[in-house]
Amino acid sequence: MAHRFDPKKVHKLDNPERRKLLPPEEILAPLQIGEQEDVADIGVGPGYFAIPASRLTSGTVYGVDVEPQMLGFLKEKANEAGAANIVPVQSDAEAIDLADGSVDKVFCAFILHELADLTKGLSEIKRILRPGGKLLVLEWEKKQTESGPPVEERLDAPELAASIEKFGFATEIIRPNPNHYMILGTQTT
């Protein structure tokens, strides 16, 4: 299995440099979160993306993470931000503890490369999405960079897009900066 992010390094997930490189509102924009839509942020961490997502909808934002410590950080940050519509869910991305068809949008930042079984993870995402739902994935480009996981653990953008398409999504690759890519998936089946 690929390495998992160490919760002791949580400070790296929200700092001025990261906000400049990955402004959460701009990263989330392709999802077009509607006013009453339910969203799942898989691998939520301390809520770097979930808290801004919670401001876009009166629906529920499920913050899914396998690490209890990360969910503790999420609860604290959500409380500070007054984000009452965030619901922490302790769950593995390969067996998400949400009902079938429970969300309109799914966001995954830097999590798919950590999965032991990518196919299971994508199957779970499809399962929890409502018909016509959208998925937005943010990952590291498969090249050496100053930070991020080892290159051999990173996922190639066209290959990941092809894997997502196998689950009935039309995909678009978006490159917000030289070190990261996003894949927007829209359910077609």
Contact 182, 171 (CB under 8 A): no
What does the pLDDT read at residue 1?
45
Between the CA of residue 135 and those of 3, 109, 118, 159, what are the distances in Å?
23, 11, 15, 16
* pLDDT tens by residue, 61-116: 999 999 999 999 999 999 999 999 999 999 999 999 999 999 999 999 999 999 99
Burial of 160 (0-12, 13-18, 19+ CB in 10 A): buried
**Partners of 105 in the β-ladder:** 39, 134
- pLDDT confidence tier of residue 8, bands split at 50, 70 and 90: low
* pLDDT tens by residue, 107-121: 999 999 999 999 999
- pLDDT confidence tier of residue 17, bands split at 50, 70 and 90: confident
CATH of 37-187, one of 3.30.70.920, 3.90.226.10, 3.40.50.150, 3.40.50.300: 3.40.50.150
What does the mean pLDDT of the chain come to? 93
* Residue 144: count of CB within 10 angstroms of its CB: 10
